[in-house]
A and B are shown apart, each in its own frame.
Chain A
Amino acid sequence: MDLWNWIEYGAWGLSAAFGLHMALDWLKTDSTYSEDVLTSSREGELEAMAEEHKVKS
């Protein structure tokens, strides 16, 4: 076993940790907030249009 073998194990471990963190946070978020809140996002607005846009016929 040289250093690179340990680095390989470290990469497996870190990958699992990142994956686990996302999965746990995902479950926690989905169980804490209602679907209405989580999916309430709509298209954004553009400040240049909202402030300066003039509709011409």
Chain B
Amino acid sequence: MTDFDITSQTMDGIGPHGTKVGLLRVLGPAHVWALGVGIVLVGEYMGWNFAVGKGGAYAALIACWFAGILYSCVAMIDSEVTSTVASAGGQYTQAKHIIGPLMAFNVGLYLVFAYTMLEAANAITAGYLFSVVASMTGHEEALDQRPFIILVIMFLAWLNYRGVLATLTFNLVITAIAFLAIIVLFLSTTGVIGTGMMEHAALFEGHELPYGWIGVLAAMHFGLWFYLGIEGTTQAAEEVRSPARALPFGTLAGIMTLLIAATLTWYVCSGVLPWEFLGDGVNGSVAPLFDTARLSGSNALVWLLGFGTLFATLASANGCINDASRAWFAMGRDKYLPGWFGAVHPKYRTPYRAIVFLVPIALIFALGAPLDQVITFSILSGLLGYTFMPLNIILFRRKWPLETIKRGYEHPFHPVPAITLLTLCGVTFFAVFLGYGTQLVAMIGFYIVVSLWFHFWRYRFVNRGAQFTMPWPKPRGY
């Protein structure tokens, strides 16, 4: 049981419940927006176009909007729950309070794997971008990408180590530039500024749905790329000045930004690039927005979208380090993992041991694993996390009805968003199974094994009483 009295009036130091060194509350809604959108926006710059390859341009648009509904449900549900949970760990902490320790342990692992894998994928992408720039500027040999992959991870980990305010202010600036680059490209290529170059009717003729409706279903897997990671805003809960206001504000502004960015991205790219080229993200269009800029013939647009691609990649890796380390830290603090990971730096006020510990893991995956496998593992972990959310919100509303805990945001039409989310998760699992069935089964097997390990061994070390220090009332019925 607990080794200290959580109701003690004498142990309270700087922070709540005896905290002598805690995370710093310095962030505002703009930082929350930058964290969520920053992680995701790279998916607009590259990756989403595999959906075109699966089912054609219209299938990609349908997937984009259905995934948009899925993530709007995620954002609304997350905004309500997290506006009452002022603690690092995001969905892990929500699961701990609302469902139970085994669910929390699994959700914590989903988060750490999803973000660390995505960080590794971003570092690989950044290395590739440097090699493209090198060849475009006349470098004749193949560039060694490894130092650039390592530099991206080390620099961003160092930034995260030194403080959350500088880290997320950096994210805010580069994410805003990457988003504005998409807007400028849209205005420049659709005729609002200068001459329009959209050829949707000619490019789509005879290729409306090349693989029929099964192609639309298969495209759902990659439709997630437009929004994957927006749920990461919740990891900032212990570092925002006003969780009840900033978290819903930042998250909902983030999903609106992404819905706009995703639709504009689809529109400009599918109106310029033939679907066969656009849909081949390996040998065809690796970075569709950048390729569209190149076809525009404007050097300014090429530079702008080139920097936009690099900035989106860096912002995503940066946000992933922030989120993975908070989830790992929160699990360490509650002794779901060794308590040693629950340390906070007394000067920089960051979870420094969690940040440093995850660096070699990201490096191993970035340098030693193929990009598509790394990304698939990230998507599957994310999808398992989304499947937990409907269960989470239904139990939250049942155990703590609206009148028992004041929320910073109450999501409308409950339980419609929860049921919609669960249904769309089921569809997406089937879509993933069509393309990556083996990985899906292997990963579920992995989580079953670690669950058994947690249940039969690790749970005895968990701080069972001390892990609940938020002033929530008892759940209804207990």
- List the interface of chain A (C-beta within 8 A of B): 2-4, 8-9, 11-12, 14-15, 18-19, 21-23, 25-26, 29, 33, 35-50, 52-53, 55-56
Contact = CB atoms under 8 A, between A and B. Distances in A.
A25 B353 CA distance: 11
Q: Which residue of B93, B352, B468 has the most chain A CB atoms within 10 A of its CB atom?
A: B352
A45 to B, nearest CB: 5
A11 B144 CA distance: 11
B19 A42 contact: yes
Q: Which 4 A-B pairs have the closest CB atoms?
A: A11-B147, A48-B244, A46-B86, A44-B86
Contact of A26 (B84, B143, B356, B473): B356
Given A46-B470, A48-B406, A41 B157 contact: no
Contacts of A35: 343
A33 to B, nearest CB: 6
Interface string B355-371: 11001000000000000
Contacts of B339: 39
A42 B88 CA distance: 10
Contacts of A2: 138-140
A29 B16 contact: no
B22 A33 contact: no
B26 to A, nearest CB: 13
Interface in B243-264: 243-245
Contact of B86 (A25, A26, A37, A45): A45
Which of A3, A25, A49, A55: most chain B Cβ within 10 A? A49
A39 to B, nearest CB: 5
Given A22-B355, A22-B359, A29-B345, 20 more contacts: A2-B140, A8-B144, A11-B151, A15-B147, A18-B154, A18-B158, A22-B157, A29-B352, A35-B343, A40-B13, A40-B344, A41-B15, A41-B333, A42-B18, A43-B87, A45-B470, A45-B471, A49-B84, A49-B470, A52-B406
A26 B236 CA distance: 23
14 contacts: A2-B139, A11-B147, A22-B359, A26-B356, A36-B20, A39-B339, A40-B18, A42-B16, A42-B469, A43-B469, A45-B470, A47-B244, A48-B406, A49-B472
A14 B151 contact: yes
Given A42-B15, A43-B87, A18 B343 contact: no
Nearest to B347: A29
A46 B84 contact: yes
Contacts of B340: 39
B162 to A, nearest CB: 9
Contacts of B473: 53, 55-56
A31 B237 CA distance: 30
Contact of B406 (A15, A25, A26, A49): A49
B155 A18 contact: yes
B294 interface: no
B166 to A, nearest CB: 14
Interface of B: 6, 13, 15-23, 25, 83-88, 93, 134, 137-140, 143-144, 147-148, 150-151, 154-155, 157-158, 161, 237-238, 242-245, 333, 339-340, 342-347, 352-353, 355-356, 359, 403-406, 408, 466-473
A38 B350 CA distance: 11
A55 B404 contact: yes
B143 A8 contact: yes
Given A18-B158, A38-B344, A49-B471, A44 B148 contact: no
A11 B148 contact: yes
Contacts of B85: 46
Contacts of A8: 143-144, 147-148
Given A4-B134, A38-B346, A44 B16 contact: yes
A12 B472 CA distance: 49
Contacts of B16: 42-45
A4 B20 contact: no
Nearest to A42: B17
Given A4-B143, A26-B356, A45-B86, A38 B238 contact: no
A4 B130 CA distance: 10
Contacts of A26: 352-353, 356
A41 B22 contact: yes
Contacts of A49: 84, 86, 244, 405-406, 470-472
A16 to B, nearest CB: 8
B147 A53 contact: no
B414 to A, nearest CB: 19
A22 B161 contact: yes
Contacts of A11: 147-148, 150-151
Contacts of A38: 21, 343-344, 346
